[in-house]
Amino acid sequence: LDSQTDKDEL
Amino acid sequence: MNIFRLTGDLSHLAAIIILLLKIWKTRSCAGISGKSQILFALVFTSRYLDLLTSFISLYNTTMKVIYIGCAYATVYLIYAKFKATYDGNHDTFRVEFLVVPVGGLAFLVNHDFSPLEILWTFSIYLESVAILPQLFMISKTGEAETITTHYLFFLGLYRALYLINWIWRFYFEGFFDMIAIVAGVVQTILYCDFFYLYVTKGEGRSQLSIPT
């Protein structure tokens, strides 16, 4: 499981 | 967007507004740690630089602008407009002991070694410990105004709701961000002691007295 990062969070 | 994240954001917004209104209405920042507020302004500045590079949604942009605006307005009220009421003698936490390690960690542990990503990571790590000067100040004075405890309650609640949001997103979207989750857990744990006092002693007392 690779950590994903989508920056749609505040 | 899910209900936990939305209520989390609204809880965060409520905390920020409560604090700003408390200082503005009472024309006093007694009991408030200016250092924590500077750290929060730094968190928002380093996290929301993407306002300049990408547009996600009207909601996203609006909230970021409000957070940054309120954070700097709060710092201005504390250190400029009502600086006479600033309790510097009790706001003595050495923030360099937070910023330097957090800055170093952001360089070592991140998802991508790009400036924007490192600044984002720095803001995530910093936010998890940014409340420490405030909690330290309250433990030194041994009390907190009721309105300040409400501020801390909503501020602590926001990241706790984000933890539920991340569980929700992992389960339904397979999304998870280890850095945000670990920092969010640390951040929420720091409030546990306060949450306990808020719930058990908050009712009916004018001042929350924390045993020093």
| B10-65 per-position pLDDT tens digit | 999 999 999 999 999 999 999 999 999 999 999 999 999 999 999 999 999 999 99
The model's pLDDT over B124-181, given as tens digits with 9 standing for 90+, comes to 999 999 999 999 999 999 989 999 999 999 999 999 999 999 999 999 999 999 999 9
Dump pLDDT digits (tens) for B102-125: 999 999 999 999 999 999 999 999
Binned at pLDDT 50, 70 and 90, residue B208 comes out as low
Q: Tell me, what's the ipTM?
A: 0.84
3 state SS of B209: strand
Interface test with B, best of A1, A5, A8 (most B CBs within 10 A): A5
Q: Give the separation between CA B61 and CA B78, rounded to whole angstroms.
A: 26
From residue B133, alpha-carbon distances to B37, B97, B111, B128 in Å are 9, 11, 28, 12
Residues near B74 by beta carbon (within 8 Å), at least 6 away in sequence:
B16, B19, B20, B23, B37, B40, B41
> A10 touching B, CB under 8 A?
yes
Q: What residues of A are in contact with residue B60 (Cβ under 8 Å)?
A: 8, 10
Residue B132 in tokens: 């420490």
Task: List Cα–Cα distances, B132 to B93, B138, B152, B187, in angstroms.
Answer: 8, 10, 11, 10
- Selecting from A1, A4, A7 the residue whose C-beta is nearest the C-beta of B120 gives A7
| pLDDT at residue number A7 | 87
**Is the Cβ pair B50, A7 closer than 8 Å?**
yes
At B143 the three-state DSSP class reads strand
Pick the residue of B11, B177, B179, B182 with the most A CBs within 10 A to test the interface with A by mutation.
Answer: B177
pLDDT of residue B201: 78
